[in-house]
Amino acid sequence: MRRAIFPGSFDPPTNGHLDIIERSLPLFDEIIIAILNNPDKHPLFTVEERCDMIREILPLVKNGKCEIRVDSFSGLTVDFAKKSNATAIVRGIRAVSDYEYELRMALMNRRLDPEVETGFLMADEEYSYVSSTLMKQVFMLGGRVAGLIPELVEKRMREKLSTPE
């Protein structure tokens, strides 16, 4: 069984996240979307809300034979991977700045547990500038995020922030 985790805050989930999930499916038998509980980030959505949103938008992903699960965790990503019997961590890379950060994290994870490998997938150029933080900022300032986040997520953001359409 080739099992991987795709960790992140997913606050909110974006089409870039869905792109990385979809493109990682042929590589593994099972992928766990691992939602980080990091209160230091002051999330817009609770961990439970993010888990629910991911579960609701997963049907948008073209899935072959790979099983997809959603879970949440606190603490070190590599510890969650080990606890989940995952041998890989999937990370999306949008730009060189992402690579520098992700490389440091991957090397530290390897030092903490050499049996867990990190794989990088390049974001589709359509989403190369999309981040959860940017989507929240643009949305809160009244900008359009259609096509960059799933409709369900935009609806939930509108409800959460009581923003008219």
Instruction: Please give the model's pTM, rounded to 2 decimal places.
Output: 0.92
What is the pLDDT averaged over residues 124-142?
A: 91
- The yes-or-no answer on residue 9 being catalytic is no
pLDDT for position 60 = 79
- 91 in active site: no
Angle separating helix axes 132-140 and 151-161, nearest 10 degrees: 50
**Predicted pLDDT of residue 134:** 92
Which residue matches tokens 């805050």? Answer: 9
- Reduced to 3 states, what is the DSSP secondary structure of residue 73? strand
Which one of 17, 50, 136, 156 is the catalytic residue? 17
- The full set of domains in the chain, from first to last, is 3-161 (3.40.50.620)
Alpha-carbon span 152 to 148, nearest angstrom: 12
User: Would you call 94 a catalytic residue per the annotation?
Assistant: yes
Task: Give the model confidence (pLDDT) of 57-76 as tens digits.
Answer: 988 787 768 899 999 999 99
Instruction: Assess whether 23 carries a catalytic annotation.
Output: no
Tell me which of 3, 9, 24, 132 is the catalytic residue.
132
